[in-house]
Structure 1
Amino acid sequence: MGERETWTTEEFGTSHEGAVGVLLTDGSVPPAVYFDSASGTSGQSVSQWSVYDGRHPHGPRAGRLRAVCSCGWTGPEHPLDWEAIGETELAEAGDEQADACLRDWDGHTARVEATTVPLPATVTDLLRRLEEEIDKLTNDSPIAAVRATRRMEITAERVGYWAARSTRHDLNAAQAAAALGLDENTARKTLARLGRWSPYT
């Protein structure tokens, strides 16, 4: 996979990393497009949707765009009308379809969030208020805000230790991952970090 613009959320990170995916007219997924460097000694592989305009010597023409996610989810297809596009740059002509892909992925992550273990409203409200208060403190005394943040880290390490160990006892990796909205590898590493055990055990 070549370089391309991707999207993540703060909570789910690369477990649900989204992007605009490309389909050719035959429904296949094209390989990355390789661009030679000016010196000719090295190059760059790119899979950004806007390079698939059929004008580059090695780049095919996209037929449809769709949102894709690192979890394997794919969104609905959004066709590209090349008669209407004409000589317009694809980055401009396909902007509406690309934006639709982002909205599709936003909907996907919202559905993922809805399947995670719910937090009590009291906890959600406390976290929100704590963030707001530290933001205010940053304006008045940045160093005090740093101390408050450090205290938050200490608290998280203390309470997360027992929470992670209890979770390890109660749930397997797949169950924990589903409850957190993460892939199994990330969930395993998260629990290991909080519970202070090796993720490879």
Structure 2
Amino acid sequence: MFVETDETWTSDEYGRSHEGRVGVLLDDGSVPKPVYFDSASGSSGWEVSHWSVYDGAGTYQPRPKAHLLRAECSCGWTGTGHTVDWTTVGEAPFHESGLPTADRCEEDWDTHLRDVATATIPLPTALEALFQTITAAIENLAQDSPTAALKAARTLELIAQRTAYWPAHDARDQDPKRVAVDLGLSVDGTRALLARFGGRHPHG
């Protein structure tokens, strides 16, 4: 049996610590189970939990029908539920008619990420400005010499490894949840980051 995964949203800044998706609620407030589809041969099948399969269709075994769509994040956050207006669907398949509602869920998740960013520890203004200047300089350099731009990026990578080593060790002595909030990551994501910069196994 195959399992089809949902479409998800991620950001470069937070990765899988804040991975978003469209969640479904039925009219009784419950979360539906994945929908099973038989293969053409009948020898195997696959389960799908993408929001668009919850359209109530099916003759012998009707699929669950979505009542609300809402944004969900891997951190546990859930957004406001948006009612699916089945009266305006007509003959259009749900993956088309429900797309505007699904888009609203992604907008809610975008707002959630902004809240996550606001809760992180702020950087000094001068350092933020310096990062922007360096980014622009490397992007301009890439237009003239891609290899020079790569060398510059590699230099930044080495600087990060050298300067983050002791902070990564010191951060292990702090409350893991507090450090995670400061970085905008999950606790597991924070452990992985500290291990990478501190030269240790994530669970060491």
Unaligned runs of 5+ in 2: none
46-55 vs 152-161, which deviates more? 46-55
Q: Which residue of 2 aligns with 1:186?
A: 189
- Describe the SS at the equivalent of 1:11: coil
Question: After superposition, where does 1:1-201 map in structure 2 within 5 Å?
Answer: 2-56=4-58, 57=61, 59-169=63-173, 171-201=174-204
Q: Give the aligned residue type for 1:167.
A: A
Paired residues of 1:62 and 1:80 also in contact (CA < 8 A): yes
Q: Output the CA distance in 1 between the equivalents of 2:133 and 2:42.
A: 55
Q: What is the root-mean-square deviation of aligned Cα atoms in Å?
A: 1.6
> Normalising by structure 1, what TM-score?
0.93
Q: Output the CA distance in 1 between the equivalents of 2:38 and 2:134.
A: 50
- Over 4 Å off, 4+ runs: none
Closer/same/farther in 2, CA of residues 136 and 37 from structure 1, 3 Å limit: farther
Q: Give the aligned residue type for 2:176.
A: A
Q: Aligned pair count?
A: 200
Q: Output the CA distance in 2 between the equivalents of 1:117 and 1:2.
A: 37
Shift of 1:40: 3.8
Unaligned runs of 5+ in 1: none
- Describe the SS at the equivalent of 2:136: helix
Paired residues of 1:164 and 1:195 also in contact (CA < 8 A): yes
134-143 vs 30-39, which deviates more? 30-39
TM-superposition CA deviations, 1:65-107 (whole Å, max 9, x none): 0111111111111111212213221122112211111111111
Among the aligned pairs, what percent are the same residue? Answer: 48
Shift of 1:144: 0.9
Shift of 1:145: 1.1
